[in-house]
């Protein structure tokens, strides 16, 4: 099945998100939810695990993923550490290994 892999943005701003992600297995189901009232990005898409908002789909993909959600073509994802870089020197330029969000969108 085709998929897209990216990192989960904003994890460091979500209380308890880092600890939750660090304890998850690869393939853990995540939910995606549009957040049109987000004050910073009207196209924001939240990433949710076990009812906890753990971060966002990165801004450069949010509009596309949000459109897929609106068309009922994408509502979930799974955690995948396999796609993350082996050596992430900076979380500003590269995702940390446990922040990789796999299977965001199918097209």
Domains observed in the chain? 5-102 (3.30.70.2330)
Query: What does the alpha-carbon distance between residue 88 and residue 53 come to, in Å, rounded to a whole number?
Result: 24
Q: Is 0.85 topped by the overall pTM?
A: no
pLDDT tens figures, 66-91: 998 998 888 788 887 644 433 333 34
pLDDT of residue 24: 84
> 18-22, 64-68, 95-99 — which is least confidently predicted?
95-99
Give the pLDDT band of residue 23 (cuts 50, 70, 90). Answer: confident
Nearest Cα residue to 49 out of 71, 91, 18: 18
pLDDT of residue 35: 96
pLDDT of residue 97: 47
């Amino acid at each position: 099945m085709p998929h897209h892999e990216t990192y989960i943005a904003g994890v460091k701003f979500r209380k308890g998100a880092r600890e939750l992600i660090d304890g998850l297995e690869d393939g853990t189901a995540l939910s995606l939810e549009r957040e049109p009232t987000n004050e910073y990005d009207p196209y924001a898409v939240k990433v949710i695990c076990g009812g906890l908002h753990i971060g966002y789909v990165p801004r450069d993909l949010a509009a596309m993923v949000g459109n897929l959600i609106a068309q009922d073509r994408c509502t979930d994802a799974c955690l995948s550490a396999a796609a993350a870089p082996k050596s992430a020197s900076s979380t500003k330029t590269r995702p940390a290994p446990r922040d990789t969000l796999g299977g965001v969108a199918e097209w």
